[in-house]
Amino acid sequence: MIRFTGRITKNQNGYFFVAATDGNSYLCKTRGRLRLEWDDLFVGDWVDGESEDGEYGLITRVQPRTSRLQRPPVVNISQVLLVTSVAAPAPNRVLLDKLIWMCEHERLPPVLCFTKADLAPAAAEEIAAVYRQIPYPVLVSGYGLPPVLDELRTLLQGRLTAVCGPSGVGKSTLLNAVTGRRLFATQALSEKIRRGRNTTRHSEIVPLGADTFVMDTPGFGSLSYVPNEFAELAAGFKEIRERSGDCRFNDCSHLQEPHCAVRAAVAGGEIAGSRYDSYCFMATEWKEREKEKYR
């Protein structure tokens, strides 16, 4: 009997591909008892297992997780690369800010990359400036623009990075360019609308170099998650969190109270209006969910 420890690199139809620390790879299932103890297993999970033939295995234990994202459902990552196009499709700012909120909530550093900037240069410049002001690392890519691949490789070095964002924004294309290999499936853009299709069907970890891994994840168009406590909303917006202590009221919601330092910062251009709009949108979602509890 071979006993091994490794990381789940791919989950396909209930079969888990595990890259073991002994250098071997195993195609694994899980014990029934383990399925009762854990809600699910995710790409990125470190597991213990056993194998009789050195090829197929059985996962016997899931090790404690260091981080977890709700959407996409991935664990044990070091950072998140959020990819958003500035055109075809147009950016969904609320979705982007929700993803950033989740990164902040899990204490995972986000890196932002805005693609297809050649299709809307002014829009690319405006949205990049919003997030550089916070500040977050921001890359802007597009045909005819200065290459960002070397900078991106530096940001990825030595980390396990989950790459996520809406469908059709060019995540797989970007990763193929970074690796210099066709590791991730893509589809050609329509010449008429210059829009891509989602080609990633499952999350998968791919090694890029020594201690450097990326996880390509399926695209999605919405994210309904809201926090349990209202106070968590402001905590996930870095620039709002930093100014909350200057509000007159300790429990300020930053929506309508007088002497609110956050709304003053929005009015003064210190906090982007689009970011505050996303905060208000999430606040409305939170309140609607609370109302549903008592109906």
Instruction: Please say if the pLDDT value at position 112 is more than 80.
Output: yes
Contact 280, 256 (CB under 8 A): no
pLDDT of residue 122: 97
H helix or E strand, kind and range, residue 33: helix 32-37
Identify which of 263, 240, 259 has the alpha carbon closest to the alpha carbon of residue 133. Answer: 240
Q: Which pLDDT score is estimated for 185?
A: 63
pLDDT at position 209: 83
CA 190 to CA 218: how far, in whole Å? 20
Is this prediction's pTM over 0.75? Answer: yes
Q: What is the pLDDT of residue 72?
A: 77
At residue 38, the pLDDT reads 58
pLDDT digits (tens, 9 = 90+) for 147-189: 899 999 999 999 999 999 888 898 888 888 887 777 666 554 4
pLDDT per position as a tens digit, 125-154: 999 999 999 999 999 999 888 889 999 999
Residue 233 near residue 289 (C-beta atoms within 8 A) = no
Structure tokens at 166: 């809406």
Q: What is the pLDDT of residue 194?
A: 42
pLDDT in tens, 53-69: 999 999 999 999 999 88
Where is average pLDDT lowest: 11-25, 144-158, 180-194, 263-277? 180-194
Residue 192 has pLDDT above 50, yes or no: no
41, amino acid identity: L
* CA distance from start to end of the chain: 56
pLDDT confidence band for 101 (50 / 70 / 90): very high
Q: What is the DSSP letter of 63?
A: P
